[in-house]
Structure 1
Amino acid sequence: MKLFHVAALAALMAATAAGAVTFDATNTASSTAGGQRFDREVGVDYAKQVLADASSFIWDAFEQPGDGGDRKPVDAVTLTVEDIDGVAFTSGDGIHLSARYVGGYNAGAGDVRTEVTGVLYHEATHVWQWGLQDYAAHPWVYEGIADFVRLRAGYVAAGWVQPGQGSSWEDSYSVTARFFDYCDGVEPGFVAELNGKLKDGYNVDYFVQITGKTVQQLWQDYKANSPKSPDMKLHVVAAILLAVAASSSSPPAAGAVTYEVNNEAASTAGGQRFDREYSAGYAKQVLAAATSFAWSIFSQPSAADRRPVDAVVLAVRDVDGIASTSGNTITLGAGYVAGVTGNDFKTQVTGVLYHEVVHVWQWGLQDYAAHSWVYEGIADFVRLRAGYPAAGWVQPGQGNSWEDSFSVTARFFDYCDSVKPGFVADLNAKLKNGYNVDYFVQITGKTVQQLWQDYKAKYGN
């Protein structure tokens, strides 16, 4: 987000029908290690910009285009960095960020600036959401909405649950956020409507009023339809059976997809690390879960809709690079495996496999050489939606062109899919006949240039 603070504020002032919202940030803990790290790696000016960007994003998520009664009457949003325990909290229009948290944030979990940005998106939601008079009795609803906003903005925190995890929708804030993300997919605008209703306090009947189903029915549907995350303690056989069941209404013996993993680099450091910290059994589970997830994203409930693939194969090989896919075979570089740093090794490799599995199932790869960013962007979109964005990915709104990089394209496709639910599924189906830039108009009614301009404007760029 290479914006000056003034530009971000100008965009927000234009968005408010009457009266500008101001944004301010103060570091009262600059003498502490955490306060100094905040000044060095985040900065007050950047924080002001984030408050402005987050507010604009929240208004959009809540479908509040103007301040004429749509939004809470807030004239100013403030951030104070303080020498306090915890992570952060919000009172009224004031956000309080713990300098101790900033100082102690583990670099192995990610970039501290990105983490603080995610925290501020979450806390800014509390400034703008309705119904906090019922917070004490139903905190997971309000925190779940705040984490939903953080999720949709692309700032998933380390340690969040993956889609489908949890024994109850109230298990934790990130469980609720993932569940609300599902509900918003089933009923676009669900979170905006829920927030609007919360103005009168919380009532569990809101789920029925918005979706036609009780929260229990929605939770059961969510659990039944969510891809089984590799971080869930499923047996490999169970994951494979899920993929088989999704591929055909016939008994599993007919038309089943099989999964095979071969470590051809077992004598290398990377191959040994793969066996020790990942394993062939776990990789099979990931291939099955990723396949089921890709089918869901591509809206392919039956085998007739998909590429004719009977087996997905992973080979760990002593080759350069991260990974590649040819036909139904994924090659994972042992050198890459050996060099993965941080405390989330399994998560990083899983994200790579989700990306590569998409190449097994997506249509139109005959045009890959000429339009690689389209196909790689779809693969990174699936990885993003599955909850495995890689370290170093661009943030929403970044990039000079939608073709700048694979993660830029993925973020752009995520926007297009929110404007036109099912966009990526429709695009993938059309790619069966090769790529054509007119597909954007056919699916959304707008050219890719118009969509890109709208996307950049949404994020104040």
Structure 2
Amino acid sequence: MDRSICIFLIPVSLLLACLVHNTHAVDFKVTNTVPNTPGGRMFDQEIGVNFALSIMPDITEFIYKVFEETRSEQRRHVPVVNVYISEFPGYAYKNGDNINISASALDQFYHPRSESKRFFTSLMYHEMTHVFQWHGNFGAPGGLTEGTADYVMVKSGFYDQATYTKPGAGKRWDEGYGVTERFLEYCDSLLNGFTAKLNLKMQYTYSDNYWVELLGKPVDQLWREYKAKYGNQPQEASVDMFQGLKY
């Protein structure tokens, strides 16, 4: 009697463990919808679906780590992340939990071809951050969400350090991309983990007052002090490996 009970309980406990794990798992899918175009062929030959699928779980875990989201309730619930290689003007964009990447842009900008996987990995750190970051129910400034996506990309190390935006560049704190990324780094220097804390505050809404709550100063004042630190020099805005082609 006791033996039969034990035999029954072990599989049930294992089943329950699997169910809990799957509840918080993210499924990843990659589809090349234009395999017969130059960019579609390049993707298959130089990058490939299997490579894309292999890096997506690690990127997801990295995003959780950068955002200090150690508990499931701190994370955006994302059942499936779809990546589509297709044809459209531009480079890449996110809609919902879908990442759309232009095959033509891959073909045009991924040179040398031997660096294609590195370029693609950089892009995926940026775009997947858009999937998992908080944005105050779309109330956060677009430049802030773009800068935060670049922030994770820079943390990953998959970016061109020689051409990337230098500290002190830009005209507005919410200019986006490298300009806002460097400003977030500055704010991190004032409060360890600032960017992660700001991201968590934006689970439901966004307010400029979050900067005051975290750093004790309005964001415009922080921006002025940041610019002053670098001599208020007029500098170019964000520069990236894709010659200014924006996501």
Taking the aligned partners of 2:176 and 2:76, their CA distance within structure 1 comes to 26
Q: Find the partner of 1:224 among 228, 234, 241.
A: 228
Q: 2:46 corresponds to which residue?
A: 41
Map of 2:35 onto structure 1: 30
Paired residues for 1:94-109 under 5 Å: 94-107=98-111
- Say yes or no: does 1:160 pair with 2:134: no
The match for 1:142 among 142, 145, 167 is 145
What is the rounded CA distance, in whole Å, between the counterparts of 1:45 and 1:227 in structure 2? Answer: 47
C-alpha deviations, 1:107-149, integer Å up to 9, x for none?
A: 26992221211111111011111126325x7210111111111
SS of the residue corresponding to residue 63 of structure 1 reads: coil
Supply the AA of the counterpart residue of 2:158. Y
Cα pair 2:40 2:85 within 8 Å, conserved: yes
Aligned residues of 2:191 and 2:215 also touching (Cα < 8 A): yes
Q: How does 1:420-459 map to 2 (within 5 A)?
A: none
Contact 2:46/2:113, CA 8 A, preserved across alignment? no
Deviation of the 1:232 alpha carbon:
4.5
Matches within 5 A, 1:287-306: none
> What does residue 137 of structure 2 align with?
133
Superposed, which structure 2 residues align to 1:255-404 within 5 Å? Answer: none
Partner of 2:4: none
Q: What do residues 186-230 of structure 1 show as CA deviations (whole Å, max 9, x unaligned)?
A: 21111111111111222111111111122122212322334899x
TM-score (norm 2): 0.79
Residues 17 and 66, structure 1, Cα contact 8 Å, conserved in 2 = no
TM-score with structure 1 setting the length:
0.44
- The answer on 1:60 being equivalent to 2:58 is no
**Counterpart residue type for residue 89 of structure 2:** D
State how 1:238-249 maps to structure 2 within 5 Å.
none
Match of 2:9 in 1: none
What amino acid is the match of 1:56? E
- The 1:65/1:36 distance shift into structure 2, 3 A limit, reads same
Code of the aligned partner of 2:50:
D
- Equivalent position amino acid for 1:187 in 2: L
What's the C-alpha RMSD, in Å, of the aligned pairs?
2.8
Residues 38-70 of structure 1, C-alpha deviation per residue, up to 9 Å, x if partnerless? Answer: 111111111112221111111011111132x11
CA shift for structure 1 position 18: 4.5
CA displacement, residues 15-51 of structure 1 (integer Å, 9 cap, x when unaligned): x694322212111111111111111111111111222
* In structure 2, distance between residues paired with 1:155 and 1:214: 32
Aligned residue runs from structure 1 range 205-216, under 5 A = 205-216=209-220
- Whether the aligned pair in 2 keeps the contact of 1:54 and 1:121 (CA below 8 Å) is yes
Change (3 A) 1:170 1:108: farther
Structure number with greater CO (CA < 8 Å, separation at least 6) is: 2
Structure 1 residues 49 and 108: CA distance shift in structure 2, 3 A: closer
- Matching residue's letter, 2:157: G
Q: How far is 1:168 from its partner?
A: 1.9
CA gap 1:168/1:31 in 2 versus in 1, 3 angstroms: same
Aligned partner of 1:177 in structure 2 is 181
Rounded to whole Å, the distance in 1 between the matches of 2:153 and 2:230 is: 20
Looking at structure 1, the residues matched to 81 and 192 of structure 2 have their Cα atoms a distance apart, in angstroms, of 28
Equivalent position amino acid for 1:70 in 2: Q
Relative to structure 1, the CA distance from residue 218 to residue 228 in structure 2 (aligned partners, 3 Å threshold; closer, same or farther) is closer
Name the % identity.
35
Give secondary structure in 2 for the equivalent of 1:125.
helix
One-letter identity of the residue aligned with 1:29: V
Q: Contact 2:110/2:119 (CA < 8 Å) preserved in 1? A: no
Do the aligned partners of residues 226 and 151 (structure 1) sit closer, same or farther apart at CA in structure 2, a change above 3 Å counting? farther
Partners of 1:90 and 1:133 lie apart in 2 by 15
Q: Give me the whole-angstrom Cα distance separating, in 1, the residues matched to 2:131 and 2:176.
A: 21
**Aligned partners of 1:52 and 1:77: how far apart in 2?**
10
Instruction: Indicate the structure (1 or 2) with the bigger Cα radius of gyration.
Output: 1
Match of 2:206 in 1: 202
Q: Distance in 1 between matches of 2:225 and 2:113?
A: 32
Q: Which residue of 1 aligns with 2:5?
A: none
SS of 2:88's partner is coil
Structure 2 unaligned residues grouped into runs of 5+: 1-17, 242-247
